[in-house]
Structures are given as C-alpha cells and as structure tokens.
Structure 1
Amino acid sequence: MNFSLLRRCTLQMILLACVFGTAIPVSAQNTKGMKKLIDKNMTLAAKQYLYMATLTAPDSMPRSFDATKNKFISSNTRWWTSGFYPGALWLIYSYTGDTAVKAEAERRLAIIEKEKYSTADHDLGFMIFCSFGNAYKITKNEAYREVCAVASESLIKRYKPAMSSIQSWNSLTSPKAPVIIDNMMNLEMLCWVADEYREPKFKAIAIDHANTTMKNHFRPDYSSYHVVEYDPVTGKILEKKTAQGYANESAWARGQAWGLYGYTMMYRCTDDKTYLEQARKIASFILNHPNLPKDGVPYWDFNAPIDKNTLRDASAGSIMASALLELSRYTEGDERAKYIAAAEKTLKTLSSKHYLAKYKENGGFLLKHGVGHLPAKSEVDVPLTYGDYYFIEALIRYRDWFLQ
C-alpha cells in the first residue's frame, strides 16, 4: 500500500470537509455551550464593528482605543494592521449574513487596494490577504483574487536570495536586513496565489523563507527569537535579538503565536511533515511552559518577571487559539484533544467580562488587554485589531470544524 498517497488523500478529505462545512465533532457536552458562546460573540461582533465604523474616518482604518483618554485611534492604510478591520468585517459577514457589515467591508477594501503595490515592508499578507483574500473566498469576485496576485508580486521584491528570506524591515538598500518571526504569517498569501494561478515561484519563496526561519529563529526548546538580522549581500547572520519582547533571549508571547500559526499553515499549504513537526514542538513549548496561566491567555512575554502587575496579551491568546484549532486537525488522539481543549479554554477566557467588551465600549473593539510594543510603551493594555481578527477567526473555525 502507498502510505504516502493514503496520507495525502486523508489530508485532502479533511481540507474538503472544512470547505464544505463538514465538522469533526467534539464531545457532546461541550457542543451546546460553545455554540451559544460563539453565537453571542458573533452577534456582538457585528454590532461593535458597525459602531466602530461610525468612529472611523472614511479614508482611515481602526487601530486601537485609549480608554484613559476615551480616544479612538485610527491609521492610514499604509500601517501594517490596516487589513484586519476589513478582514474581520468579511469574517463577520460570512457568519451573520448582515448586508450592512458587507457594505462596510466593501467600502474599506476600496481605500486599502492601493497598498497592493507597496514594497515598503513585509506586511502585505496581513494587509491584503486578510482583507481581499477573505473577500474573494466569500464572494468569488475575481477582482479580489487579482489584488492578492498583484500584492504577491510586490511582496517577493523583498526576497533576498543570499539570505533565503524575505526582508521584513528597512529599505532594500540597507546594509542590515532584519527578518522577524511575524513574517511567517505573510507566506500564506504567497502559497495561496501560487496554487490559484499555478505560479510556483511564490510558493518556492515561501518555502525558502520558512526553512530559513526554522533554521535560524528557533532555539533548542523551540522558542523563537523575534528578530534575526542578516547581511543582505552575504546572508551572514549579524545579530539575534528582540524588538518587542522582554529581552533578546526571551520568548515574546505574540512571536511564539506567529510561529505556531505560521508553521501549521505551511503544513496545510505544502503537505511537508517537517512543518507539522515544527508546529507541534512550538505548541509543546507554549502549552507546557510553567509561566502559561491556567486560563490560557499568556503573559506578554513568557520570560517577563511575573507579579500581579504583569500584563497579559489577549492578541497572543487569540492567535494561539486559532492556530491550535487548525493544528488539531492534523493530529490524532490525546494530542488532538489537548489542542482543542487548550483553544476552547482560551476562547472561553477571552469571552469573559474581563476581556470581552460590551456594546459601544472599548471603541467598538471586542477584546481588551492587548499588548502591542511594551518596550516602546506603544499600545500597552489596549484593544488591537489583530487580536479581534484572530479571535473572530478562531470562533468561526471552532463552529465550522467542530460543531456542524
């Protein structure tokens, strides 16, 4: 028997089940409670995000909210988080069918489309695939698919062959070329466009980048550095460090979440078991870490000194939950059950009154207590668009994969 073929066919059946809404059931005792929680949260999401639209200028995107000053904070479309608001709107529309939500999503796509030509940094996957990629999957509008293709051409201009990586920050002529673990998230657009257009160069670059990141970003315990800085001409590693974490050798929580999500996604896109094993080892680091709180929402850095004032990061929790739900689909038995249970626990915690806002509170955002860049004292203990986005994605994944 050809076991490799059998395994590929089994994986294809799982992915088809996702596309056509066939779920892999969880225990019956959890089904009713999670369905009620998800319905309640998604109803709130529709109301909150339409309210948020009234606070956001027509030519900008939501970014955060400062509760101490009662100040709504927006950004231009060039800011790296600009795709999460329209992306979340499309996810909400896919769940609720609310045409007002769809109309707002379409309005926001119109102002962000110009970013498909940007080569300023690596964030085009966040900006374009979360917005136009979701829009295409839901509507099948070919114009949306084409935007993703153009953005992918723009993104690969930052690929440096000597480094075998896509440069994250700095100009393309800089003598220092940083690559951050966050960049793993932008590979999904390249893989998707490669398959949609049968253009292998995009996936080849994504694989090259993922392999280099796996080699150079991870420590023996499968925690990740935030930044690896290269010489763009020789490919030599100049420095391994953090930008947003507690210390150079610490495990910045959202960085660990990006890695977990990124390698789980790369397995889905390539069927390469190396990526699956990497994702499982990252998951083990996270879930078995002694500093992971019992409720599943991590401190902002796994190695930060912990006391009653140490901040949690709801955004890292939501990304981890979404990633663990997908990882569970590629594993079996107790391991699979562990991932589902961990994700479910985190989603329930994030749905509690401590984290989840009420209607017209929190600037229209869903989740409170995100941590953006604590060392720079930027976006600390505030709502964040990406925290909301992956929370919504995780809720929908749970409904689609485990409840229907």
Structure 2
Amino acid sequence: MKRSIYLMTIMFSLAVFTSCTTETKKGSFSVDKMLEYSVQKVETTMKSLTQVDSLPRNILQGQTDWNIVGIHDWCSGFWPGILWYAYEASGDTTILSQAQKFTDPLRGVLDVPVDNHDLGFMLYCSFGNGYRLTGDSAYHDFLLEAADSLATLFNPKVGTILSWPAMREKMGWPHSTIIDNMINLELLFWAAKNGGSHDLYDMAVKHAKTCMTTLVRPDYSIYHVAVFDTVDGHFIKGVTHQGYSDGSMWARGQGWGIYGYTMCFRETGKDEFLTMAEKLADKLLERLPEDGMPYWDFDDPAIPNSPKDASAAAVAASGMLELSTYMKDENLKAKYKDAAVALLAKLSSNEYLSGDKNQAFLLHSTGHYPNGSEIDASIIYADYYYLEALMRLKKMDEQ
C-alpha cells in the first residue's frame, strides 16, 4: 500500500525520477513514468466521456474537463489516436475497446461532401493507428476511401491540396495551402502502398515539392499559408494567418514542417526532403529561447511576456526523434535526438504537466492567438504528439 501511494505521488508531483531515465543536457525524465502518467490520465478521461461521437478538443483557463467537438472538427481524430497509443503502451483491453468505440463514429466524416483538407489528422490518427495495431481489414478499406476523398482537393495546376475550401471567398484566396497539410500527406502515401492508386503517391510528392519553394522561406522559416492563382497555378504570396505577422516565424508551423518533411523522406527516400527537414529543424533550434520552450511565435514583440506553445514543442519533438534515425552521421543523430529529448524533458516537468489540474496531459499550448482562441490552454493535439513522441523514444531506446 505504501509503495502504491508513493508511485501515485511521484506520478502527479513529478519530482526527481531516479530510474528508467532519459538523460539530456537540460534535465532528465522517465519515459516509462510519463507513459504511465499518460495512460492513467487517459483512463480518468475515459470515465467522463459517454458519447462516442463527442470528442475532446481543449481545456481552457479555469476549466478541469475537456470541451468537446463533433466528428467534423479537424481535431476529432486525436482522442481516438491517443486511445490507440495508450492501448499500445499499456496492453489494456479496456482501452482497446474505447479506441474502437471512439474511432468508429468518424466514418461519418466521409458522409458529407469533401470540404476539409484535414482528413489525415482526422482519419489517419484514428483509423491509421487502429489498422497499425489490429490489422482490421475494415479500417484498411476505409482509409483507402479517405485517401481518395482527400485527393479530390488536389489541384494539378497548382500542385497542392486545397486548404480551407470554405474560406476562399471570405479570405479572397483563389487556392490556399497551409503548412499543416504536410501531415495529411501521410494518408496518401499509406494508401498508395496499400492498394490505392499510385497517383496518390505522385500527388503527395508534388504537394511536398511545391511547398518547399512557396511555404518555406529562403531562411527556412515557414509561412502558415501559401496563396496560389488557379488560372496558371503561380504562387501569389505567403501569409502567416495564425502567427504574429506574415513575415514572422509561427512555432507550430515550424513543427509541422519538420514532422512533415521527415515523414516524406521516410515514404519516398528522396534526399531533398531529408535535407529540408534538417534545415527546418536547425532553424527551430536556432530560435529556441534560453528555457528551451518555444513561444507561440518566435517574433512576437511581446516576448518574454508572450504565451508559450507546448503543442509546437510536442510536434517538433516527435518529428526530430524520427529525423534523428535517418542521420548517417552519429553527431547529427545525437543532435536531433538530444534536442527532441530536451523538449520532452521540458514538457515532462512540473511547469508543463497538468498533473491534477485538469484532464489533459499538458498545459500551456496556444491555438490561434490572433483570433484570441485557445491561448495558454490544454489542447488535444499537444497531448497526441507528446504521447506519440514518448512511444517513439521508448522504441528507439529499446533497440
């Protein structure tokens, strides 16, 4: 009994861990303890979620429970994805059952006309992880359908998937593509390897290459949005819609870029994508403040009195962990792994773990600062990529 109480205290107070630790230049944390912590938080949240088509999105300042959204919200796939990772980490069949229950309603995402570029976030994080862990043929077939649906947003004249179709008239953008969309390419790559058309592979490659010369600036910082003409497909301008200004470096966008181009190298073996991922990672590491945690935008003039973004750190950490595995040079391998682990160590500290404050894993994420939404909040995708990164690190350390 005393040992049980002691372990619970460690899990929530998160003082100094003395075993199973990953050492970094900026501190240490226990991957196993953080996985136990995450699984326990999942189990707690499971008890409060009774409607399988109502999915966690955020917890705002002063709240303790998740605010929920429907299946058509772009964040709908992250809770099922977290459940799949929690099942993988724990082997708990009760969590498996919940993962299956919360994944299934997302089939309804394809029951409406395709107007959402985030089908990868919504359906690959859920059904993709489900298929990876169970081999369920029904998941396989649905993912092929999802990939074909996402492909309908590809404009061959521009060379990218259209983002935010509903915003064309409101924003005056003939065709826009956001850096976030790089992550959705994984669905197309998967489908092309698993019974879908090879055209899906070609679309994904073309999209990634187009974004390299439009969304990515010469200094390897990233625009949030690239705007294109639909007559001849030329690049009109770059916009940083969710960042401080069009010329600023929005932290989560940099993370999406690192993650996305690393994944593109994995799926294609094209060195240009690996080089791009390195350059984007180097840029983020160059701009990190002294405490090692990114501000929501690196160029916000309010720094140091500016919100941090734990979600950007989690995305970048997961991406750089994978990036490190593709480095032939041992120094570069260590560079990116150590950088990722340092971000995870910071996220695994008292400052960023929610503990008993709310149902989430993490605190201090920033969603859409210019819009005044989800500022210094707990956000579901921060938890998803944090748990994914922990799982990646555990597997790397066990090899």
* Alignment partners' CA distance in 2, 1:308 and 1:198: 48
39, 60, 66: which one aligns with 1:72: 66
For each residue in 1:273-300, what CA deviation from the matched residue of structure 2 results, as whole angstroms up to 9, or x when unmatched?
01001111111111122xx123432111
Deviation (angstroms), 1:170: 2.0
**What's the counterpart of residue 132 of structure 1?**
127
> What are the Cα deviations for residues 323-374 of structure 1, in whole angstroms up to 9, with x where unaligned?
1111101112211111111111111110001111214x32x11010000000
Paired position in structure 1 for 2:331:
334
How far is 1:237 from its partner? 2.6
Distance 2:65 2:87 in 1: 27
Q: Is the 1:295–1:346 contact (alpha carbons within 8 Å) kept by the matching residues of 2? A: no
**2:388 & 2:260 partners in 1: Cα distance?**
15
Match of 1:153 in 2: 148
**Is 1:351 matched with 2:362?**
no
Matches within 5 A, 1:377-392: 377-392=372-387
Cα distance, 1:257 vs structure 2: 0.4
RMSD: 1.9
Once the two structures are TM-superposed, the CA of residue 173 in structure 1 deviates from its matched residue by 8.0
Q: How does 1:2-401 map to 2 (within 5 A)?
A: 32-34=20-22, 37-58=30-51, 59-70=53-64, 72-117=66-111, 119-171=114-166, 176-197=174-195, 199-289=197-287, 292-331=288-327, 332-359=329-356, 361-362=357-358, 364-401=359-396
Deviation string, structure 1 residues 37-83 (Cα, Å, up to 9, x no partner)? 12111112122122223333502100011232556311011000100
1:117 CA displacement: 4.8
Change over 3 Å in CA distance of 1:117–1:275 after alignment to 2 = farther
Greater Cα offset, 45-54 or 127-136: 45-54
Count of residues in Structure 1 that have an aligned counterpart in Structure 2: 371
Letter of the 1:229 partner, please give it. Answer: V
What secondary structure does 2:22 align onto?
helix
Structure 2 unaligned residues grouped into runs of 5+: 1-17, 24-28
Q: Which amino acid aligns with 2:393?
A: Y
Q: CA deviation at 1:161?
A: 1.2
Q: Deviations over 1:165-193 (max 9, x none)?
A: 10011249866221101000000110011
Distance 1:297 1:336 in 2: 21
**Counterpart AA for 1:106:** Q
SS in 1 for 2:58: strand
Whole-Å Cα distance in 2 between the matches of residues 55 and 154 of structure 1?
33
Q: Which residue of structure 2 lines up, in the alignment, with residue 24 of structure 1?
A: none
**In the alignment, residue 348 of structure 2 is paired with which amino acid?**
S
The CA distance in 1 between the partners of 2:103 and 2:166, in whole Å, is 27
- In terms of mean alpha carbon deviation, does 115-124 or 89-98 score higher? 115-124
Q: Does residue 398 of structure 2 align to residue 403 of structure 1?
A: yes
Shift of 1:308: 4.0
Identity within the alignment, %? 39
Separation in structure 2 between the aligned mates of residue 107 and residue 294 of structure 1, nearest angstrom: 43
Looking at structure 1, the residues matched to 111 and 203 of structure 2 have their Cα atoms a distance apart, in angstroms, of 18
Which stretch of structure 1 is more off in the superposition, 31-40 or 299-308?
A: 31-40
Distance 1:299 1:276 in 2: 25
Retained in 1: the 8 A contact 2:354–2:363? Answer: yes
Q: Any idea what SS the aligned residue of 2:254 has?
A: helix
Letter of the 1:33 counterpart:
T
Amino acid at match of 1:53: M
Q: Which amino acid aligns with 2:148?
A: E
Aligned counterparts of 2:376 and 2:46: Cα–Cα separation in 1: 22
Report the 3-state secondary structure (helix = DSSP H, G, I; strand = E; otherwise coil) of the residue aligned with 2:367: strand
- TM score, norm. by length of structure 2: 0.89
Shift in Å at residue 253 of structure 1? 0.2
Asked whether the 8 Å contact 1:116–1:128 carries over to 2, the reply is no
Distance 1:357 1:98 in 2: 23
Alignment partners' CA distance in 2, 1:127 and 1:250? 28
CA positional deviation for 1:401: 1.3
Q: TM-score, normalised by structure 1?
A: 0.88
| Whole-Å separation in 2 of the counterparts to 1:135 and 1:53 | 18
The answer on whether the counterparts of 2:175 and 2:230 sit within 8 Å (CA) in structure 1 is yes
Query: How far apart, in 1, do the equivalents of 2:111 and 2:230 lie?
Result: 22
Q: Counterparts of 1:213 and 1:181 in 2: how far apart (Å)?
A: 8
Question: 1:393 is aligned with what amino acid?
Answer: E
SS of aligned partner of 1:372: coil
Alignment partner of 1:286: what SS?
helix
User: 1:31 and 1:328, CA in 2 relative to 1: closer, same or farther beyond 3 A?
Assistant: farther
Q: CA deviation at 1:113?
A: 1.6
Specify whether residues 353 and 173 from structure 1 end up closer, same or farther in structure 2 by C-alpha distance, changes over 3 A only. closer
Between the aligned partners of 1:160 and 1:73, the Cα distance in structure 2 is: 35
Relative distance call for 1:100 and 1:73 in structure 2 (3 A) is same
Stretch of structure 1 that moved more, 368-377 or 224-233: 224-233
Tell me, in whole angstroms, the C-alpha distance in 2 between the residues paired with 1:68 and 1:345.
Answer: 29
Kindly state the Cα deviation for residue 244 of structure 1 after the two structures are TM-superposed. 0.6
Q: Per-residue deviation at 1:31?
A: 8.8
C-alpha displacement of 1:197: 1.2
Range with greater deviation from structure 2 (122-131 or 226-235): 226-235
The one-letter code matched in structure 1 to 2:47 is T
Shift of 1:198: 5.5
Q: For residues 116 and 132 of structure 1, what CA distance do their matches in structure 2 show?
A: 13
